Structure 1
Amino acid sequence: MMLHYRENWEESEHSGSKEVLSQEMLMRVLDVGLRACQDKDKIRPHGVRCIGNVASFLQPQQVADPSLVPLVTQAVDTLVTCASSGSNMKTRWNACHALGNIMSSGRLPIATASWRGQVFTTLGCLVESFKNYKVRIQACSALCGVTGRQEYGTEYLGVWRALLHGLDNAQNIVDYQEIRHRDELINQVSDQVPTHTHTHTM
């Protein structure tokens, strides 16, 4: 299957087309990913990764297609739910990673999306105080992965505040096993705070 996609990619590059997956295939893969997210704990991480990876194949003309918009919205809503609830840390980490793929792809209209506020709020809450530091690190990466300041919109100050609170709370470790990830979280958030502060003051 991967060879088939690679051949399609090479063919599309040669022909000048950027559409790697057809509309029908995108809808089918998204549907499979969504159903996997409702499956057993061992299956859910694969479902959320599937959804995040599909986002990297989306093209502007596909995103604008009315038949695909509801499915994309459902996919993002599902990722938010998986990132913010449940005891399976692997699922929550992968959900943050998938949201990061969507944020950084530059192919979805994040600035005008109905789900923008929900995504930034969820990721911000995780960065601020979630008990699992690996999930917090991935949430921070996703939160700061957008391609431009305008995509934060009215959520910008909330994101900035979440980063500062996350940095302040990083020392409050409940589980000693998280100590090994503390410095990585502090370094990552510290790298982002000056960037956001500088952007805000310009």
Structure 2
Amino acid sequence: MQLSINVTNFLLLGLTQDPRRKNIVLATFLFFYMETLVGNLLIIATIKTSQALGSPMYYFLFYLSLSDTCFSTTVAPRTIVDSLTKEATISFSECLIQVFYFHLFGSLEIFILILMAVDHYVAICKPLHYMTVMSHQVCGTLVSIVCVVSCVHSLAQIFQALSLPFCGPNEIDHYFCDLQPLLKLINSSSYIE
């Protein structure tokens, strides 16, 4: 793997450079982030404290809420802080960490939604075998598998980013680090689609 990185910091241009609009961005992101946190933490607490919510659907819903909380935490707090500053910079390593966690929790949410669909399929199409097919051990194994697959997916994104030559501009026309905006910054003569 060829590592050619001359850029140490990135400048996040964000959603706007206008100070009044930055206040709107701050208020909007803060409101929705807090709503997401409160809603997901209430779901997590309710499922963990209730004895009646022990079915596989609630097991998957617990992990969906947990991954959604982590997913929103990868972007929203940084965006809120950046809307308070004049210039939002992020180091190369912080950018890669954000890409990793963004893809980790994003893919984890997708895979957990797939597991919930499988759970519903088994409950509807195989109701007599439901408790055998969707036992707690099977559900735990499925969640473990999707965690590993999500981690592998995220590592693949990081290795892809590390193999790219960042030698040019350092302005990301986005409000957080992701691969798509980063691809616009690489030395285009060495980039292969």
Q: TM-score range by the shorter chain?
A: under 0.3
Greater relative contact order (CA < 8 Å, ≥ 6 in sequence): 2
Length-normalised TM-score, structure 2: 0.28
Task: Flag the structure with larger Rg.
Answer: 2
Length-normalised TM-score, structure 1: 0.27
